[in-house]
Structure 1
Amino acid sequence: MDNFRNYYSGETSSNQPIQDVNFVIIDDAAVSEDSLAGHSSEHKRRFKFSKGGIALLVALCILTSTVFGFAGAMLANNLTSDSGSFGKRSAASEQLKISNTGTTLELSTEGDLTIKEIAALNSNSVVEIKTEAMVTDSWMQQYVTEGAGSGVIISSDGYIVTNNHVIENSNKITVTLKNSKSYEAKLIGRDDETDIAVLKIDASGLTPVVYGDSGALEVGDLSVVIGNPLGSLGGTVTAGIVSALDRSITIDGKNMTLLQTDASINPGNSGGGMFNQNGELVGIIIAKSSGSDVEGLGFAIPVNKVKKIAQELADYGYVRGRIDTGMTFVDLTSMRNAIYYGVRSLGIYVKSVDTDQAKNAGFKSGDMIYYVGDKKIDTASDLTSAFDGYKVGDKVTITVVRDNEIKKLTLTLGEKTAG
């Protein structure tokens, strides 16, 4: 199994308490003729409702043709921004609200804002994001692929929050403001478990969003979404209602708790903002359902989670306290993928051993994970849930199958400090 083909780098996202298991999730389409050439249509993820066991397909809302490329994150070394000002506007900026036509808009003084007022209040705070990635296909040919998504300005000096899957594996990230000015962005930090990333552009005097309280939302509240659908329609505004709260969904075998809305969401909206009736940011768009017979099912990461993760990423470049197995795993639970990788048994395999800690524990590429502690591992979801409750420094016994032999290895869990 040391000869795993290294053309696929995959993508992951999840929510706590899932720890760093670094999945390479592959579905049957990953070994189609197109994907073997290094191409795919757009990022797609499978999810299911935790209640009822209804499986649906989630298409991550990013218009991109790449799931391949280089992984990793660039961490900021010397942050000088007052990150405590994230999600706030200055008193001066609150005094003047400019509409899309450039004229002064007088906001309502009583009751909820109109959709027009919410759009005018936040149109300058949502940006377009374009990415470039260098891809090496299975024939070792390299080429550049492009992707697009959305982002939300959270500070006047250029900090921007988006989805990790929007910028993952990118070699170049370009942010375009509503005034059409473009900047090359630096990746400050990313978190694949919550699918949140923070970027920084060299700009000042920007209009940040104002954080709302996603915990105060109720079903039926107004939901206004602003983003860059199709990667070419920046500033698009759609509206609906909050359809559900605390919707438990499994994406790539990892549990996430999301807001649900029926506002129109399309590929490219990922990383854009979802606003409440007060014009406050209450969610970051992450996904939509993509069935031909499904309409009005979009999902957003609650802002109460976003602001905590964004603060950690801005301050440290990573989310502290997350455990790291030091390995990347590949899901070979379909017969086609197992045959492609040359394995005889379906299961979760070690794709690469990435840290000295894991190497010293005796793990090797090609090991099939059999048990974590006393929990048998049959699926990616089994593996992620098996690490629930563990913390940095804990020792865990992992049973693997190697060359038809069962081996028990003891791993000391490290701290995940990147992506």
Structure 2
Amino acid sequence: MALSRAVPNLAFRRLRGQRSPAEFAALVRRAAREIGEQVACDARYIGRVEAGEIRCPNYAYERVFLHMFPGLGLTDLGFSAREAVRGRRSAAEAAGAPPPLAITTRNDEESDVLRRAFMTGGTATVATASLGLCGPAAAIAAPHTSAPRTAAVPAVTIPAPRGVHRVGEAEVRAVEDAVRNIRLLDDRHGADGLYQRATQPLRTAYALLDAGVATRRSTADRLHNGAGELAISVGWLAHDSGRLDDARSHYAEALATARVAGDAALEAHAFCNTSFLARDSGRYREAVRAAQAGLRAAQPLGSARLLALLSLREAGAWAGLGDRSSCAQALGRAHTHFARGTADEDPEWMSFFGEPEMEALEAQCWSLLGDWTRAARHAQRATLLQDPHFARNLALYRAQLATDLAHAGRPDEAAAEVRRVEASLDGVESARIRRMLSETRRLIAAH
């Protein structure tokens, strides 16, 4: 059967206006949060919509778009009617049975079908079927909000290869979706309940690299990038849950993958996290070198925000060494880069890096330099600017503020922040936050 050519969606492109695809994707994610939906929209998804590759969005995106543009229907947004894309209902559906998952085409359903299955109860089998793949699947589960330490919940899956396997679009998307979902779950719940379960999908991703034969060079490049990003995501889970040696190993694996693939963006990301880990481990010289290496890798990529974050990593490392002058210079460069704003070239993983994170990272610099009043001022700005949707980050910023206030000799204010953090930790598991709270309680007790 011949495939029809995609027709560009000019109506949707007009709605985007002067915003970049990345900026518009951020608006979509914000609108989703307003109505309680969960979509991992990025610039690539917007590009696929505008190119006509997505003839009809899935139900989650439909609700978000109709919320964003009240009074307009799907056809007004340039999409095809769902019935025209999917065809007529089967006799079983007409009788009330649930419709089967489509496994032969995904033009009408972006990969959020899979993401929502992960988040709302889909089993590994369902997630695998939704990719049109067979065979065993590796899964991780997120901690449940009402019983975060023990309950089993929906899974993130990557189909495991069996023997010689030709790697194509479906396998690559499975890896990319696993990365996005790990980040989403970490934002909501913290790292402790995720790390052990996340290592199996990582092994599966690297098994695809080892055993698979990519059908195209672009597919091989995306698979290398996806596996490397997954290694960094799993490394961060190890890092945030206090498994620093494991994190170091995962970041090194990502860096090696970047070097093999000649992927400068992945290399910059790996160095960014390596610098952060080295600083947390007290290896400040290594943190400086890693941040500077990341800056070299990122220079030609066209992302001022990435340069800003790497400059902040360097600033934190100089602060750890007690070099106030070098720290201030790196902070100045970070502010200069940040002021240039966002760009289409900004990596997807940097969605967390906005003004709240900028303030929080600067607060960490002043904390390391012992300027507690200044640190508390920046930490407080971070808490005020942070979207409450990101529960883990908001708890982290408040814990940091509490520590800075306690060191600054303001125990009553510090105790109030500790109580706020404790009240917000339902479903959030982070060894980093627990350690910060323990330190703050000791400081308050001393007062």
TM bin (shorter chain): under 0.3
Greater fraction helix: 2
Please identify which structure carries the higher strand content.
Answer: 1
Larger Rg: 2
Which of structures 1 and 2 has the larger relative contact order (alpha carbons within 8 angstroms, sep 6+)?
1
Length-normalised TM-score, structure 2 = 0.23
